[in-house]
Amino acid sequence: MSIGANEEFRPKIVAFCCNWCSYAGADLAGSSRLAYPADVKIIRVPCSCRVNPMFILRAFERGADGVILCGCHPGDCHYSTGNFYARRRMTMLFSMLDYIGVENGRTRVEWVSAAEGAKFSATMNDFVAKVTSLGKNVRLGDLRCKN
Amino acid sequence: MQELINKAKELLANGTVVRVLGWRAGDLSYNPEPAFFETEEDLQKFVYDGFCGANLSKYMIEASKLDGKTLVFLKPCDTYSFNQLIKEHRVDREKAYIVGVGCRGKLDIDKIKEQGIKGIESVEGTELDGPDTLTIKTLYGDKTCSYASAMLGRCHVCKGKEHMIADEIIGESKDTKDAERFDAVKAVEAMSPEERFNFFQKELRKCIRCNACRNVCPACSCRKCVFDSNKFDSAQKANVDSFEEKMFHVIRAFHVAGRCTDCGECSRVCPQGIQLHLFNRKFIKDINEYYGEFQAGADIEARGPLTNYTFDDVEPSIVKERG
Amino acid sequence: MQQRIGVFVCHCGSNIAATVDVKKVVEMLALEPGVVHAEDYQYMCSEVGQAKIAEAIKEKQLTGVVVCSCSPRMHETTFRKCAERAGLNPYMVEIANIREQVSWIHKDMEEATQKAVILGRAAIAKVSLNTPLKAGESRVTKRALVIGGGIAGIQTALDIADAGYEVDIVEKTPSIGGRMSQLDKTFPTLDCSACILTPKMVEASANEKITLYTYSEVEKVSGFVGDFTVDIRKKARSVDMSKCTGCGVCQEKCPNKKAPSEFNRGLNTRSAIYTPFAQAIPNVPVIDREHCTKFLTGKCGVCSKVCQAGAIDYEQQDEIITEKYGAIVVATGFDIIKLDNYGEYAYDQSPDVITSLELERIMNAAGPTKGHLERMSDHKAPKNMVFIQCVGSRCSDGRGKSYCSKICCMYTAKHAMLIRDKYPDVNVTVFYIDVRTPGKNFDEFYRRAVEDYHVNYIKGQVGKVTPEADGSLTVHGVDLIDNKQIKMKADMVVLAAAIEPNPDIRKIATMLTASIDTNNFLTEAHAKLRPVESPTAGIFLSGVTQGPKDIPETVSQAGAAAVKAIGLLAKDKLLTNPCTAQADIMACNGCSTCANVCPYGAISYEDKEVRGPGIREVRRVAVVNSALCQGCGACTVACPSGAMDLQGFSNRQIIAEVDAICR
Amino acid sequence: MYKIAKENLSALFQKIAGDKELYLPVKNGGQTNYAAWDETVEVDIDTLKTVKSAKDAFFPQFETLYNVKREGKKLDLQQEALKDKDFVIFGMKACDIQGVKVLDNVFLSEPVDTYYAARRAHGIIVAMACHEPEESCFCKVFGLDAADPSAADVATWMVDGELYWKALTEKGEALTASVKDLLTDADEAKVEAEKAQIRAIVEKLPYSNLSLEGWGGDATDVKFKSPVWETLYKGCLACGTCTFVCPTCQCYDIKDYTTKDGIQRYRCWDSCMYSDFTLMAGGNNRTSQLQRYRQRFMHKLVYYPANNNGMYACVGCGRCVEKCPSSLNIVKVIKAFENEGGSKA
User: Is the omega angle on the peptide bond into residue C199 within 30 degrees of 0, that is, cis?
Assistant: no
What is the mean pLDDT of the segment spanning C494-512? 93
B-contacting chains (≥3 CB pairs under 8 Å): A, C, D
What is the mean pLDDT of the segment spanning C59-78? 96
Which pLDDT band, with edges at 50, 70 and 90, does A143 fall under?
Answer: low
Q: Same domain for C353 and C478?
A: yes
Q: Which residues numbered 35-94 in C keep a CB inside 8 Å of some CB on A?
A: 71-74
pLDDT for the residue D342: 44
**C-beta of residue C9 within 8 angstroms of C-beta of residue C97:** no
Predicted confidence (pLDDT) at residue D345 exceeds the cutoff of 60: no
Pick from C587, C590, C652: CB nearest B233: C652
Pick from A93, A97, A143: CB nearest B242: A143
Distance CA A112, CA A119 (A): 7
Chain C residues within 8 A of B232 when measuring between CB atoms: 642, 651-652, 655
Distance CA B117, CA B113 (A): 5
CA A96 to chain centre: 17
Structural domain contains residue D215? no
Structural domain contains residue B117? no
Predicted confidence (pLDDT) at residue C132 exceeds the cutoff of 50: yes
Q: Inter-chain contact C652–B65, Cβ cutoff 8 Å?
A: no
Q: Same domain for C491 and C405?
A: yes
Q: What is the mean pLDDT of chain C?
A: 94
Distance CA C273, CA C281 (A): 15
Hey, is the C-beta of B65 within 8 angstroms of any chain D C-beta? no
Q: Inter-chain contact C663–D261, Cβ cutoff 8 Å?
A: yes
The CATH number linked to C91 is: 3.40.50
Q: Same domain for B160 and B31?
A: yes
Q: Inter-chain contact D201–B119, Cβ cutoff 8 Å?
A: yes
Q: How many domains is chain C built from?
A: 5
Predicted confidence (pLDDT) at residue D264 exceeds the cutoff of 50: yes
Predicted confidence (pLDDT) at residue C535 exceeds the cutoff of 80: no
Residue C17's nearest CA partner among C105, C113, C90 is C113
Hey, is the C-beta of C299 within 8 angstroms of any chain D C-beta? no
Domain span at residue C280? Answer: 249-306
Hey, is the C-beta of A31 within 8 angstroms of any chain D C-beta? no
Structural domain contains residue C513? yes
What is the mean pLDDT of the segment spanning C342-369? 96
Q: Which residues numbered 240-259 in B keep a CB inside 8 Å of some CB on D?
A: 240
Q: Inter-chain contact C31–D72, Cβ cutoff 8 Å?
A: yes
Q: Same domain for D199 and D230?
A: no
What is the mean pLDDT of the segment spanning D217-229? 90
Q: Same domain for D198 and D229?
A: no
**C-beta of residue C237 within 8 angstroms of C-beta of residue C243:** no
pLDDT for the residue D18: 93
Mutate to test the interface with A, among C105, C118, C402, C593 (most CBs of A within 10 A): C105
Q: Which residues numbered 33-72 in D keep a CB inside 8 Å of some CB on C?
A: 70, 72
Hey, is the C-beta of C7 within 8 angstroms of any chain B C-beta? no
Q: Inter-chain contact D283–C663, Cβ cutoff 8 Å?
A: no
Predicted confidence (pLDDT) at residue D46 exceeds the cutoff of 70: yes
Distance CA C289, CA C280 (A): 19
Q: Same domain for B159 and B207?
A: no
DSSP C163-212: TT-EEEEE-SSSSS-TGGGG-SEETTTTEEHHHHHHHHHHHHHH-TTEEE
CA distance A74 to chain B (A): 7
Hey, is the C-beta of B207 within 8 angstroms of any chain A C-beta? no
Q: Same domain for C564 and C484?
A: no
Q: Inter-chain contact D284–C663, Cβ cutoff 8 Å?
A: no
Q: Which residues numbered 86-125 in B keep a CB inside 8 Å of some CB on D?
A: 118-121
Q: Same domain for D40 and D189?
A: yes
pLDDT for the residue D343: 40
Hey, is the C-beta of B273 within 8 angstroms of any chain D C-beta? yes
Residues 6 or more apart from B232 whose CB is under 8 A from it?
A: A52, A54, A58, B226, C642, C651, C652, C655
Structural domain contains residue C576? no
Pick from A31, A45, A81: CB nearest C654: A45
Structural domain contains residue D31? yes
What is the mean pLDDT of the segment spanning D65-80? 91
Q: Same domain for D169 and D231?
A: no
Q: pLDDT digit string (tens) for C606-645?
A: 999 988 777 788 999 999 988 778 899 999 999 999 999 9
pLDDT for the residue D340: 64
What is the mean pLDDT of the segment spanning D289-318? 95
Distance CA D264, CA A142 (A): 13
Structural domain contains residue A143? no
Structural domain contains residue B138? no
Chain A residues within 8 A of D265 when measuring between CB atoms: none
Structural domain contains residue A17? yes
DSSP A72-102: PPTT-BTTBSHHHHHHHHHHHHHHHHHHTT-
**C-beta of residue B186 within 8 angstroms of C-beta of residue A91:** no
Q: A with D: how many residue pairs have Cβ under 8 Å apart?
A: 9
Hey, is the C-beta of B242 within 8 angstroms of any chain A C-beta? yes
Chain C residues within 8 A of A47 when measuring between CB atoms: 632-634
Structural domain contains residue B177? no
Structural domain contains residue A2? no
Q: How many domains is chain A built from?
A: 1
Hey, is the C-beta of C648 within 8 angstroms of any chain B C-beta? no
Which chain B residue shows the shortest CA-CA distance from D239? B212
Share of chain C above pLDDT 70, in %: 100
**C-beta of residue D175 within 8 angstroms of C-beta of residue D126:** yes
Which chain A residue shows the shortest CA-CA distance from B289? A92
Structural domain contains residue A5? no
Pick from B239, B265, B271: CB nearest D268: B239
Q: Same domain for C112 and C161?
A: no
Structural domain contains residue B257? yes
Q: Same domain for B269 and B187?
A: yes
Hey, is the C-beta of D226 within 8 angstroms of any chain C C-beta? no
Predicted confidence (pLDDT) at residue C654 exceeds the cutoff of 90: yes
Distance CA C218, CA D139 (A): 80
Structural domain contains residue A109? yes
The CATH number linked to C230 is: 3.50.50.60
Structural domain contains residue C642? yes
Q: Inter-chain contact D260–C33, Cβ cutoff 8 Å?
A: no
Chain C residues within 8 A of A63 when measuring between CB atoms: 662
User: Is the omega angle on the peptide bond into residue C531 within 30 degrees of 0, that is, cis?
Assistant: no
Structural domain contains residue A146? no
**C-beta of residue A18 within 8 angstroms of C-beta of residue A56:** no
List C-alpha distances in Å: B160 to B127, B155, C200.
19, 9, 72
Structural domain contains residue D343? no
Structural domain contains residue A138? no
CA distance C105 to chain A (A): 4
Residue at which a domain ends, from C500, C515, C547: C500
What is the mean pLDDT of the segment spanning C546-557? 96
Which pLDDT band, with edges at 50, 70 and 90, does C502 fall under?
Answer: very high
Which chain D residue shows the shortest CA-CA distance from C34? D73
Chain D residues within 8 A of A63 when measuring between CB atoms: 260
List C-alpha distances in Å: B143 to A86, B49, B119, B126.
55, 19, 11, 14
pLDDT for the residue B241: 63
Predicted confidence (pLDDT) at residue A5 exceeds the cutoff of 60: no
What is the mean pLDDT of the segment spanning D246-271? 91
**C-beta of residue C267 within 8 angstroms of C-beta of residue C368:** yes
Distance CA A38, CA C106 (A): 7
Task: Please tell me which residue, C11 or B322, carries the higher pLDDT value.
Answer: C11
Domain span at residue B241? Answer: 183-322
Q: Same domain for B200 and B86?
A: no
Q: How many domains is chain B built from?
A: 2
Domain span at residue A91? Answer: 13-133
Q: Same domain for B95 and B187?
A: no
Structural domain contains residue A4? no
Chain C residues within 8 A of D72 when measuring between CB atoms: 31
Q: Same domain for D129 and D229?
A: no
Q: Inter-chain contact C614–D73, Cβ cutoff 8 Å?
A: no
pLDDT for the residue C396: 87
Structural domain contains residue B129? no
The CATH number linked to A92 is: 3.40.50.960
List C-alpha distances in Å: C405 to C207, C456, C498.
33, 22, 6
pLDDT for the residue C527: 75
Q: Same domain for B189 and B303?
A: yes
Predicted confidence (pLDDT) at residue A29 exceeds the cutoff of 70: yes
Structural domain contains residue C311? no
Distance CA B255, CA A108 (A): 21
Q: Inter-chain contact D259–A147, Cβ cutoff 8 Å?
A: no
Hey, is the C-beta of B199 within 8 angstroms of any chain A C-beta? yes
Per-residue pLDDT of chain B (323 residues; tens, 9 = 90+): 899 999 999 999 999 999 999 999 999 999 999 999 999 999 999 999 999 999 999 999 999 999 999 999 999 999 999 999 999 999 999 999 999 999 999 999 999 999 999 999 999 999 999 999 999 999 989 999 999 999 999 999 999 999 999 999 999 999 999 999 999 999 999 999 999 999 999 899 899 999 999 999 999 999 889 888 888 777 667 766 676 667 889 999 999 999 999 999 999 999 999 999 999 999 999 999 999 999 999 999 889 999 999 988 999 999 888 76
Structural domain contains residue D271? yes
Q: How many domains is chain D built from?
A: 2
Chain B residues within 8 A of D136 when measuring between CB atoms: 28
Which chain C residue shows the shortest CA-CA distance from D278? C613
C-contacting chains (≥3 CB pairs under 8 Å): A, B, D
Q: Inter-chain contact A54–B282, Cβ cutoff 8 Å?
A: no
Domain span at residue D12? Answer: 2-204
Chain A residues within 8 A of C535 when measuring between CB atoms: 20, 24, 78, 114
pLDDT for the residue A146: 61
Q: B188 in the Ramachandran plot: left (φ > 0), alpha (ψ -120 to 50) or beta? A: alpha
Structural domain contains residue B264? yes
Hey, is the C-beta of C651 within 8 angstroms of any chain A C-beta? yes
Extended beta strands in C297-369, E state: 319-325, 327-330, 334-336, 353-355
Angle (CA) B106-B112-B116 rounded to 5° is 170
Q: Same domain for C161 and C208?
A: yes
Beta bridge partners of A147: none
Chain A residues within 8 A of C513 when measuring between CB atoms: 77-80
Q: Which residues numbered 304-323 in B keep a CB inside 8 Å of some CB on A?
A: 305-311, 313-320
Distance CA C225, CA C539 (A): 8
Q: Same domain for D196 and D224?
A: no
CA distance C188 to chain A (A): 32
Residues 6 or more apart from B180 whose CB is under 8 A from it?
A: B157
